[in-house]
Structure 1
Amino acid sequence: MVLSNFVNDDRSDRLARGPISQKERALAPDLARGFMLLLVVLAHAPTLLFTSDPWVMNRPEGVHLLDRVINFIGLLFVDNRARYLFAVLFGYGLVMVIENQLRKGTSDRAAKRLLRRRAWILILFGFVLHVFIGGLDILSVYGFSILLIGWLLFRPDRVLTRTLILVGLFYSLLMPFMYIHVANALGGVGFPRLFSATDTYTGIVLERLFSFPSVQFIHITTPMLLPILVGMWAGRKRLLIEPHHHRKQLSRIVIAGISISVIGGLPLALIGAEIWHPTPTVAGLVFSLHLLTGLAGGCGYAAIFGLIGAVAKGTGRATRSLAALGKRSLTFFVFNEAILVLILSPVALGLGKTLHSTGAAMVAVLIWLTSLGLAIALEKMKRRGPLDALFRLLVYWK
Structure 2
Amino acid sequence: MLLLIALAHAPLYLYASDPGIMHRVEGITFFDQAVNFFGQFVIDNRARAMFAVLFGYGLVLAFKSQLAKGISEKKAVKTIRRRSWYLILFGMLLAVVIGGQDILMAYGVAGLLVSWVLTRTNKTLIRTFIWITVFYVLITPLFWGFTILESGSYGFAPEVSATDTYFSTAVLKLITTPFIPIFIHMMFPVLPSVLLGIWIARYELLTKPEQHLGRMRRITIAGLIVSLLGAIPLSLIGNVWNPSYFTAGLVNGLHIITGIAGGLAYAMLFGIIGAKIKEPGRLTSSLMAVGKRSLTFYVFNEALLVVLLSPVALNLGGQIGNGLAALIAVGIWVLSVVLATVLEKKNKVGPLEALMRKLVYRNK
- CA drift of 1:196 comes to 0.2
Report the residue type matching 1:159 in the other structure.
T
Residue number in structure 2 paired with 1:239: 205
- CA drift of 1:275 comes to 4.3
Structure 2 unaligned spans of 5+: none
Aligned residue for 1:194, secondary structure, equals coil
Q: Provide Cα deviations, 1:40-73, integer angstroms capped at 9, x if missing partner.
A: 1001100111112421222111112221111011
Residue number in structure 2 paired with 1:141: 106
Residue number in structure 1 paired with 2:221: 255
- CA drift of 1:103 comes to 3.1
Separation (CA, whole Å) in 1 of partners of 2:85 and 2:202: 24
Residue number in structure 2 paired with 1:17: none
Indicate yes or no: 2:32 matched with 1:52.
no
Aligned residue for 1:60, secondary structure, equals coil
Indicate yes or no: 2:163 matched with 1:230.
no
8 Å contact 1:188–1:279 — kept in the other structure? Answer: no
Residue number in structure 1 paired with 2:313: 348
Residue number in structure 2 paired with 1:25: none
TM-score by length of 1: 0.89
8 Å contact 1:336–1:371 — kept in the other structure? Answer: yes
Residue number in structure 1 paired with 2:155: 190
Indicate yes or no: 2:345 matched with 1:380.
yes
Of residues 82, 105, 108 in structure 1, which corresponds to 2:70?
105
- CA drift of 1:117 comes to 1.1
Separation (CA, whole Å) in 1 of partners of 2:14 and 2:220: 33
Residue number in structure 2 paired with 1:117: 82
Report the residue type matching 2:181 in the other structure.
Q
Q: Provide Cα deviations, 1:213-266, integer angstroms capped at 9, x if missing partner.
A: 221111111201111111111111111011111100100011111111111112
Residue number in structure 1 paired with 2:176: 211
8 Å contact 2:15–2:157 — kept in the other structure? Answer: no
Separation (CA, whole Å) in 2 of partners of 1:239 and 1:136: 30
Indicate yes or no: 2:165 matched with 1:200.
yes
Report the residue type matching 2:333 in the other structure.
W
- CA drift of 1:109 comes to 2.5
8 Å contact 1:53–1:193 — kept in the other structure? Answer: no
Aligned residue for 1:59, secondary structure, equals coil
Separation (CA, whole Å) in 1 of partners of 2:136 and 2:259: 13
Aligned residue for 2:20, secondary structure, equals strand
Structure 1 unaligned spans of 5+: 1-35
Pairwise CA RMSD of aligned residues? 1.2
TM-score by length of 2: 0.97
Residue number in structure 2 paired with 1:28: none
- CA drift of 1:367 comes to 0.4
Deviates more, 1:213-222 or 1:322-331: 213-222
8 Å contact 1:44–1:136 — kept in the other structure? Answer: yes
Report the residue type matching 1:257 in the other structure.
G
8 Å contact 1:268–1:290 — kept in the other structure? Answer: yes
- CA drift of 1:97 comes to 0.6
- CA drift of 1:95 comes to 0.4
- CA drift of 1:314 comes to 4.2
Indicate yes or no: 2:281 matched with 1:316.
yes
- CA drift of 1:113 comes to 2.0
Residue number in structure 2 paired with 1:87: 52
